[in-house]
Amino acid sequence: MPPAHLQSYAKRAERHSNPAAKELLETIERKRSNLCVSIDVTKQADFLRIIDIVGPYICLVKTHVDIIEDFEPTVIDRLKELSERDDFLIFEDRKFADIGNTVALQYSSGVYKIASWSHITNAHPVPGPSVIAGLSSVGLPLGRGLLLLAEMSTKGNLATGSYTEQAVQMARAHRDFVVGFIAQHRMDGVAASDKGVADDEDFLILTPGVGLHSRGDSMGQQYRTPQEVVLESGCDVIIVGRGIYGKGNEVDAEYVQGQAEIYQKEGWAAYEERISAAE
């Protein structure tokens, strides 16, 4: 059997048992989109407007719900409506990083009740397996999935080498709930001597730091193109923020829609080229 990233999203969906991972792969295939739009804006109207525009082009929307300064619970109701209308999943990029008991509360409770609406969330592996235990106690019964942060896109980040290896080993020991990684490359060969490696290992790789028109920002972000990310590095989902919604204060609907279309096309073309290599 060829390695997972050389197989189609549809084939891979058949073998995933975690409901969030399965649904994400099925959505990617159905919509021919491996594009996740990341929305870091401060007003709920802009947040919902951008999602309203990009919905048809994406498989997933990535949120930082705590950035919205006029947040009300109705934002979540509308987000869920849009996710059903336009057929995409929701990923709250919460980056949990505390002891199990605390992350379980942060995930289930508080103002945002993330577990009740976010199909996928993520965690830093820095606390060790307890972060997974805490989050899975809440998320697994709801059919949610978790991504571990194995690598980051920023200059000088510390998630490299043995840290990345240990993230992968932690994930292998919790495959029911940990469905993949936030990373810059596939993790297949990482810690390959680990006894936990399964023959059918297929972690999803979701990759931020994607842009076509810039190589970075003034605060250490580094961008690569969809070709570099999907074809050369074997990642599964491109996460694009400002490359799609721009940097201005106003949402320019035509621009946002145009960019979403371009990134969807680029991401999909890179995937088709990748799997054609295995045929």
What residues are annotated to the active site? Answer: 93, 95, 98
Other CB atoms within 10 Å distance of the CB of residue 141: 9
Q: Encoding tokens for residue 50? A: 């951008």
Task: In angstroms, give the least distance from the CB of 245 to ligand 5BU.
Answer: 8
- Residues belonging to the binding site are 40, 62, 153, 221, 241-242
To ligand 5BU, the closest distance from the beta carbon of 64 in angstroms equals: 6
Minimal distance in Å, beta carbon 59 to ligand 5BU? Answer: 16
Write down the number of H helices and E strands in the chain: 10, 8
CB 237 within 8 A of CB 206: yes
Residue placing its CB nearer to ligand 5BU in the complex, 141 or 156: 156
Residue 94 and residue 235: Cα distance in Å, rounded?
Answer: 21
Report the distance separating Cα 168 and Cα 188, nearest Å: 9
> In whole angstroms, how close is the CB of 244 to ligand 5BU at the nearest point?
8
Q: Which is nearer to ligand 5BU, 103 or 239 (CB)?
A: 239
Distance CA 95, CA 64 (A): 10
125 by Cβ neighbours in 10 Å (0-12 / 13-18 / 19+) ranks as buried
**Burial label, 168 (beta-carbon count in 10 A; 0-12, 13-18, 19+):** buried
Measured from the CB atom, is 152 or 270 closer to ligand 5BU? 152
First to last CA, the chain: 12
Residue 216 Cβ, how far from ligand 5BU at the closest point, in Å?
9
Neighbours of 124 (CB within 10 A): 18
Q: Which of 13/159 has CB closer to ligand 5BU?
A: 159
Report the C-alpha gap between 5 and 174 in whole angstroms. 21
C-alpha dist (Å) from residue 96 to 34, 101, 114, 237 = 24, 12, 11, 21
Q: Which is nearer to ligand 5BU, 64 or 265 (CB)?
A: 64
| Site residues (vs ligand 5BU, CB under 6 A) | 38, 40, 64, 93, 149, 152-154, 182, 208-209, 221, 239-243
By beta carbon distance, the residue nearest ligand 5BU is 241
- Annotated binding residues for substrate: 40, 62, 153, 221, 241-242
